Amino acid sequence: MRTSYKVRAYPTQEQAAMLNRTFGCVRLVWNKVLEWRKTRYRSQGLRTSYAQTSRYLTELKRDPDLGFLSEVSCVPLQQGLRHQHAAFVNFFAGRARHPRYKSRQRKQSATFTRSAFRWREGRLYLAKMMDTPLEVVWSWPDVDPASIEPTSVTVSREPCGRWYVSLAVEVPGPEQAPPTGAVVGVDLGIKDFAVTSDGGKIANARRLAKRERNLARYQRRMARKQPGSNNRAKARAKVARAHRKVTASRTDFLHKTSARLVRDHDVIVIEDLNIKGMIRNRRLAKAISDCGWGEFRRQLKYKAARHGRHLIVIDRWYPSSKTCSTCGHLLVELPLSTRAWRCPSCRTLHDRDINAAKNILAAGLAVSACGGDVRHPGPPRAQSPQKQEPQPARAGIPVLQLQGRE
């Protein structure tokens, strides 16, 4: 199994200068090769292979105006071409969007393979900087850095100014987690980040909303600086640091939540949410993006596979909120503002999110037992209306009396 260890790096002034030159050369080669690819495709209708881009890089190095490309290691330049080729493969396969030009304002990175670095006793030596090791801070006390053998190293600099080193390592697969016999359905939301079928609720901390005032203040200060000045660069770094705090807090929360679900349950059932379609609602787009549902699903997927758990994803059109988890009665409609409703058939009072989580679990177990997808069940059989007196709400929860489909 392949994994990576990402650690903080603290380069010296000379090392930072060399790495910045390397980042600039990688960015220049990426942009020139991308422009050449696009021009070649538009004029001749031909796709470009990696070997052709490698030969074009050789021509670029022969240009007297680009002689500085030979001052840095050639390995990061070649790796940049490989990454661009993989990006185009994913684009033509429909798995990703079209590759974009690189900007110096975004994250900068360079990848070194075995021929361009040395890892000796926990010390990292990079090409063109073999005299002095790059200082890194190891963050895993249970792993001896001298015992690992990285296959590649990626050095990156965040817009906030922090340096990182990512070490790709081949490790044996982890042991399967002991079975717990527990199953759970998870309904993701905005008011509560997740509601489980056993009635548990995981609060949504709204990390971006808590720091919006600081972000707005830093962005206003940056807007008042003269473009291209050092003061603007400093203000941009403050904005990037504020965004980094939001991202780090959200990532930490998602990792802890997904790890707890995988550790405590053998089967986890979630919905296939159409996040791209949901964020088109401009009133909820920022709140939905702040939740990180896509990243949460990605973490659940790889952690469940790593520890021998079973993750089931049911169809996005399954009406989990409008279906009674007790008798299966299906409502005609259920407004988003309705947080509790009473089933007109069995008179059961439902919390909207807990009821949805129970239906998600039942649908996932049906998929696991029978196979196939869980889709909209269609119009149910006609049910005779039952005339009963409405019952009062419980615990102060407003109850909406709804009619089922006839």
Give the active site residues: 187, 271, 353
Task: Count CA within 13 A, CB hemisphere, residue 151.
Answer: 8
103 burial via Cβ count (<10 Å: 0-12, 13-18, 19+): exposed
Rounded CA-CA distance 73/127 in Å is 6
CA 379 to chain centre: 37
Token pair 């609060």 in the structure block, residue: 203
Q: What is the 3-state secondary structure (H, E, C) of 178-238?
A: CCCCCEEEEEECCCEEEEECCCCEEECCCHHHHCHHHHHHHHHHHHCCCCCCHHHHHHHHH
| Contact residues for 178 (Cβ-Cβ < 8 A; gap 6+) | none
Count other Cβ atoms within 10 Å, centred on residue 376.
11
Count other Cβ atoms within 10 Å, centred on residue 54.
15
Token pair 């900068």 in the structure block, residue: 108
* CB-based contact 401:345 (threshold 8 Å): no
**Amino acid letter at 406?**
E
Report strand pairing: 123-126 vs 201-203. unpaired
Rounded CA-CA distance 173/67 in Å is 45
Rounded CA-CA distance 160/237 in Å is 5
* CB-based contact 114:43 (threshold 8 Å): no
Rounded CA-CA distance 201/353 in Å is 9
At residue 256, the 3 state secondary structure works out as helix
In the sheet that holds 340-342, the strands lie side by side as 349-351, 340-342, 400-401
